[in-house]
Structures are given as structure tokens and as C-alpha cells.
Amino acid sequence: MRSAAALLAIASLVVSNAYADDTKAKKATGCFATAETQYAMDVCAGQDFKKADDALNTLYKQMLPRYEAADQALIKDAERKWLAYRDAECAFDSNSTIGGSFHPTAETMCRTEKTEARVKELKTQLDCPEGDLGCNRPSK
């Protein structure tokens, strides 16, 4: 039993370290370029997420008043469901790192990536050209 637990701990560490090395290579700019400890990586991931989340909230606040009440209700419902999707998807995506010190960073980085993608989607929606039937133009 002890050897199985030790093997699991080693496997988790190897996966976490491989994930961390891969992620660090991809994100070796800004804060991540100088992050040398797990704590520093956690801080960087948190800063990146806050920036993405702030951008999403700012854009959302710009969008909402441009729509009539019925459309606002649809936007709010979609956003609540999108947040639930993002968090569930990132919990699944970072599942392989559970138990490792890198897990919070992996989950936060996933949430950041998905939030940045959502910002792009909403910007496209907000800047929808006249006649484009692929998006919902503001009603006001």
C-alpha cells in the first residue's frame, strides 16, 4: 500500500512538473519570465486572471446598456451559464494536476485563457457590422 501511494505521489509530481515546464515555456513573458518558485507562478497566474476578468467585466458593462431589457436578460443568462461552463471546463482540464502544487496555477491559467477568448467573442459581438446575421446587434 505504501509503495502504491509513493508511486502515485511521484507520478503526480512528474505530471505537475512537466505541465509547469510546458506552461512556463509558453508563458515566458511578463511576470512568468521571472517566476522561479511555485508561489511566484501562482501570483503571476492570479495577476493574469485578474487582468482578463477585469477586461471581461468592463466589456460586459459596456455591452449591457446597448440592449433592450429582454435582450439584457438573455445576455445575463448566457454570461452566468458561460461562467459555470468555464469553471467546470477548467476543473476538468486541470484535473491531472490535482494534489500537486501546480494545480491552482493550472486551473487559474485555464480560466484566464477561456476568459480572454470570451472577451474576444464579446468584442466581436459588440462591433457587429450592419447586416451580419451571425451576431446579435445592439437594439439601442
End-to-end CA distance of the chain: 66
Specify the pTM: 0.74
Task: Tell me which residue has cell 459588440.
Answer: 126
Q: Residue 53's pLDDT is what?
A: 97
The domain spans of the chain are 2-126
Lowest pLDDT segment from 31-35, 38-42, 59-63, 74-78: 31-35
**Residues 66-75 pLDDT 10s:** 989 999 999 9
Res. 133 pLDDT band, cuts 50 70 90 = confident
> What is the per-residue burial (b if ≥16 Cβ within 10 Å, else e) of 97-112?
beebbbbbbbbbbbbb
Q: Which fold has domain 2-126?
A: Substrate Binding Domain Of Dnak; Chain:A; Domain 2 (1.20.1270)
Residue type, 84: A
